Structure 1
Amino acid sequence: MSNPDSFINEVTEELRRDRMVGYLRRYGWIAVLAVLLIVGGAAWNEWRKASERASAQAFGDAVLTALENDASADRIQALSQIDATGPQQGVLALLSAGELFESDRAAALAALRTASEDTALTDSYRQLAALKYVIAGGSEIPLAERESLLAGLGQPGQPFRPLALEQTALLQLEQGNTERSIEILTDLLSQSDVSDALRRRATQLIIALGGDPAAN
């Protein structure tokens, strides 16, 4: 390679280095910021997970401590003093309602109804509260209200559908609609997401009503 060519190459490389240094000076902060964001984001995510675990453990410990009280009134008082947010409020509402049944049935039903309508809670907690409200309230709750709640809970895909269908069958039986009750129970037995205990109850009731459990 001739000297002129060598000189030109050296100048070209020097220009490239100068240009690269210029780019780094001008835009290098972007790369640094990106690295900081990645590292900071990962650290924040780990902190959030650890914080959530600690919060859940603290909530569980507080609930267990509250339930260790001997008297129902003391348990209710202790539960009411636990700080809770989101789904945890649903857990406390259901636990408190269970305790209230021993001393104040009306208050327990009111607590369940309130929980079933609380949009701050997850659907599963609201539906569980509604189902417990219907089962515990029985004839104390207007027939139309029970029918409306069970119709929603018994829709396909709902988490407590089998139990809601069982209650719907009992509601039909309460109104003297024996054949309709048998139809609902027979349909219930044909579904795959039915627990063994519920399947036994449905079978026994069909037989008691004069139906044939194998007719599904």
Structure 2
Amino acid sequence: MSEDSFLREVEEELRSDKLKAFWRRFAPFIIGAAVLIVLLVAANEIWKWWSSNTAATASDQYYAAADLAEQGDIEGAQAAFAELQASGPAGYATLARFQEAALLVESGDVEGAIAAYDALAASLDQPRLRELAYVFAGYLAVDHLDAAAVEQRVGGLTGEDNPMRNSAREALGLAHYKAGNIEEARANFEAIAADPAAGQDMQLRAFVYLEQLASTGVDVSEELVDAAAPVEAAPEEIVIPAETPSLETLGQPLESDAGQAQTE
């Protein structure tokens, strides 16, 4: 055997010994890491399956409860939403709480509904959903509480960067009008009418409110009255209400504002 061959064999033996020593030292960690990766992948797949299955079940429960409400079975719908709130995933549980508050209104318990919306708002982490709950409570408070109660719920939502601002302004305007605070009512209605981001239906109502104020001698911006004229000239497309809408007609702008909130 040549000297070179002998040296190569020695080197190979040394490498083999080092590899064996390395493996004996680190094998438990390498195997453990591999097992951990497999377990994490398996856990993630199980979680995805469970979440998908749970969401599908919750969705079925939610629409079944909504169908009960549409059929007039208020008690059955309340029980179904309560069950979903207790056992469903967080998103559907929150939707169920909104629906439970709305059903209280349908059953005639407006004070209970206001309290439910207040409790819902106080418990929510998502700012837009919390604001939406306060807006619903604010609208209900217009006819059942004083202007200060409405201000307490939606007074902080009228900033220009808040997607709920026009619903908050409308509730405040109605509350102040009811309380005889005409200037405060006018300011809120004019802010809606001048806001290009306000929904068309809400702006139309704001114009109606302002026209009613103007008919009683209140000084209203002429520019806003002029802006309302082209809309009133097309009755075949838009019907201007003859009277101030009741709370039952206020759902559509809320949906619009809620859509803006989700977009932002």
TM class by shorter chain equals 0.7 to 0.9
Output the amino acid matched with 1:131.
V
Match of 1:47 in 2: 46
From the superposition, tell whether residues 88 and 134 of structure 1 become closer, same or farther in structure 2 (CA, over 3 Å).
same
Match of 2:66 in 1: 67
Residues 97-145 of structure 1 deviation map (CA, whole Å, 9 limit, x = unaligned): 22222323232222222212224x5333332221111102214223222
Match of 2:81 in 1: 79
Match of 1:107 in 2: 112
1:76–1:96: 8 Å Cα contact kept in structure 2? yes
Output the amino acid matched with 1:72.
I
The aligned length equals: 213
**Alpha-carbon distance, 1:77 to partner:** 2.6
Aligned mates of 1:49, 1:156 — CA distance in 2: 40
SS of alignment partner, residue 8 of structure 1 = helix
From the superposition, tell whether residues 39 and 189 of structure 1 become closer, same or farther in structure 2 (CA, over 3 Å).
farther
1:154–1:164: 8 Å Cα contact kept in structure 2? yes
- Normalised by the length of structure 1, the TM-score is 0.80
Q: Which sections of structure 2, spanning at least 5 residues, go unmatched?
A: 214-219, 228-264
Residues 171-204 of structure 1 deviation map (CA, whole Å, 9 limit, x = unaligned): 4444445455444444445556433333333344
1:165–1:184: 8 Å Cα contact kept in structure 2? yes
| CA RMSD, 1 decimal | 2.9
- Normalised by the length of structure 2, the TM-score is 0.67
Output the amino acid matched with 1:39.
V
Match of 1:15 in 2: 14
1:22-37 equivalent positions in 2, closer than 5 A: 22-37=21-36
Higher relative contact order (CA 8 A, sep 6+): 2
Q: Single out whichever of 165-174 and 42-51 deviates more from structure 2.
A: 165-174
Aligned mates of 2:159, 2:44 — CA distance in 1: 37
Aligned mates of 2:173, 2:199 — CA distance in 1: 17
Q: Single out whichever of 173-182 and 103-112 deviates more from structure 2.
A: 173-182
Residues 141-176 of structure 1 deviation map (CA, whole Å, 9 limit, x = unaligned): 232221122122334544423322332333444444
Provide the identity percentage. Answer: 23
1:64-213 equivalent positions in 2, closer than 5 A: 64-69=63-68, 70=71, 71-82=73-84, 83-105=87-109, 106-119=111-124, 122-155=126-159, 157-188=161-192, 191=195, 193-209=197-213, 210-211=220-221, 212-213=223-224
From the superposition, tell whether residues 196 and 32 of structure 1 become closer, same or farther in structure 2 (CA, over 3 Å).
farther
SS of alignment partner, residue 104 of structure 1 = coil
From the superposition, tell whether residues 179 and 117 of structure 1 become closer, same or farther in structure 2 (CA, over 3 Å).
same
SS of alignment partner, residue 40 of structure 2 = helix
1:153–1:160: 8 Å Cα contact kept in structure 2? yes
Aligned mates of 1:66, 1:56 — CA distance in 2: 15
